[in-house]
Chains A and B, each alone.
Chain A
């Protein structure tokens, strides 16, 4: 018990002393996850909205596929992209392996189905009168998409934040594709894994606490936005 308490106090001291290495890891983690979330959201929100608005052949199959991809183990994505980006792989010439870009691509792929699926749910569960009203008022296809996204913005934002939360907490793909290079691709989760394996429990715990704090901040932001919904 004292081991845990000692580790916790050391972790808190590392956080409150603003340890440069720890905060560099946090910033790397946040920037990778934010960029991945923006990239995924750019595609997933319009795609999810269009899927929610239209009936088409194969929609159910796509829905099943999205559900499956939502539960896809991160190491599987890591493995596939590793094969693509490794020196002998088809995209090896891009020299992306062990770069933040590779981690961003992996995390964007990982969270795209989550964001898209939750956007579909947001659109299909919106008021059934929304689309006929917009059409009757003269909305063209692009305007219809824009106003449906605007109307469902709080639920869609929840989808984005959920995706971001998954990205920042992801370890498998970040480890395989980022390589956990200090000061370059080391994220909070890969650092926790490394430090714990080294027996540096305090550093791992400090990062774990920061990760929890970020998760709490995200959830707080989400519930605040939902309360602010008119």
Chain B
């Protein structure tokens, strides 16, 4: 069962295509991270998924059903949405949650219990009667999440939930999101520009670059042009197995890049010599950054690092198959 299906989606802003998704299926009961730089189209995509905006072209299906706006109450109650800069109306935190419950036609007698549950889930029980206008940034985000989860939506959409928060608030919010994602039947989709956060919390990551989705991790992304399966970055030629013309970006999965001291005689079409400029630990693995005119990031294990005796400044070869190159 799918939470969303998107077909031939295009969103234009002043004649510029800011979102172009030929096909995207988001499964139910998953925790999905939308990863991309600022302006990549994450908020636009979430607005579409929250049915706050309509696409210029294409169709969005919710739980397998085509959707027309305004949403039916039975469809709207499935979605909880927290924007990047959440807005709380005047009144207390409880008043805001009560408003959401009223608008969702929840029975009035259930309100006190649902409000208490939602506030407890985000750890804001002590601020139930505090004026929303006096909340700090972290409290405001948690209050907005409480409001969005109060009516138990099947899908929770969170736009940049960790932005502008200090470390302690980020950790508590990560715990809340992880708990919500663990709940059966709840699909959590959140956007972030922090790749590690995305990978740590989500079991699926969708990458957005210039309004286009890609499954490849957004490191080793290069801009350029593709001609006869060879992508020209302006500095390097990367072999791909794509014959498309309208390609502006390629990405190489850092796990697919092989690091060696010598050039390897193999079927790998892409081999470049460069210099190690960074070695860093990342999520129990090691990221080696090699400057071969373009910078490539390779993820290797700790044991490989020791066996190869890699050091900063060392001259080294990287190799990857044309199949490892995603084009979009």
B59-103 contact mask (Cβ, 8 Å, vs A): 1 or 0: 000000000001001001101010101110110000000011001
B30-71 vs A, CB cutoff 8 Å, 1 = contact: the mask equals: 000000000000000001001110000000000000000010
B131 within 8 A of A: yes
Would you give the shortest CB distance from B153 to chain A, in whole angstroms? Answer: 10
- Select the residue from B77, B85, B89, B104 with max chain A CB neighbours within 10 A: B89
Q: From residue B250, how far is it (CB to closest CB) to chain A in Å?
A: 35
A135–B85 contact, CB under 8 A? no
In the complex, what residues of B have CB within 8 A of residue A143's CB? 103
Contacts of B105 in A (CB 8 A): 138
Whole-angstrom distance from the CB of A137 to the nearest CB of chain B? 5
* Chain A 111-131 near chain B by CB (<8 Å), digits 1 or 0: 000000000000000010110
B-chain residues with CB within 8 Å of residue A132 when the two chains form the complex:
47, 52, 83
Q: Considering the complex, give the chain B residue whose CB is closest to the CB of A129.
A: B87
Give B134 Cβ to nearest chain A Cβ, in Å: 10
Chain A contacts of B73 at CB under 8 A? 138, 140
Residue in B52, B89, B147 whose CB lies within 8 Å of A135: B52
A87 interfacial by beta-carbon distance below 8 Å = no
> Does residue A147 face the partner (Cβ distance < 8 Å to B)?
yes
Chain B hits for A137, CB < 8 A: 99-100, 103-104, 147
Evaluate contact between A136 and B70: CB separation under 8 angstroms.
no
Chain A CB within 10 Å, residue with most, of B47, B81, B105: B81
- For chain A, which range describes its interface: under 10, 10 to 19, 20 to 34, or 35 or more residues? 10 to 19
Across the interface, A138 reaches (CB within 8 A) one of B47, B77, B89, B133, namely B77
Query: Contacting A230 at CB < 8 Å: which of B87, B133, B147, B148?
Result: B133
Range, interface on chain B: 20 to 34
Q: Which chain A residues in 153-205 approach chain B with CB under 8 Å?
A: none
CB contacts (< 8 Å) of B131 on chain A: these are 230
A95 within 8 A of B: no
Best-surrounded residue of A139, A143, A147 (most CB of chain B within 10 A): A139
Write out the residue numbers on chain B whose beta carbons fall within 8 Å of the beta carbon of A130: 87, 89
Tell me if A136 and B99 are in contact (CB < 8 A): no
Q: A67: CB under 8 A from chain B?
A: no
Residue of A nearest to B76 (CB): A138
- A136 pairs with B50, CB closer than 8 A: yes
Report the nearest B residue to A151, measured CB to CB: B89
A147 and B79 contacting across the interface, CB-CB below 8 Å: no
* CB–CB B103/A139 < 8 A: yes
B104 to chain A: closest residue by CB: A138
In the complex, A141 Cα to B148 Cα: how many Å?
A: 20
| In the assembled complex, A211 has its CB within 8 A of some CB on chain B | no
- How many angstroms from the CA of A139 to the CA of B81 in the assembled complex? 13
- A134 CB within 8 Å of chain B: yes
Q: Show 10 residue pairs from A and B whose CB-CB distance is below 8 angstroms, ordered by the A residue.
A: A127-B87, A129-B85, A132-B47, A133-B86, A133-B87, A136-B52, A137-B147, A138-B105, A151-B90, A230-B133
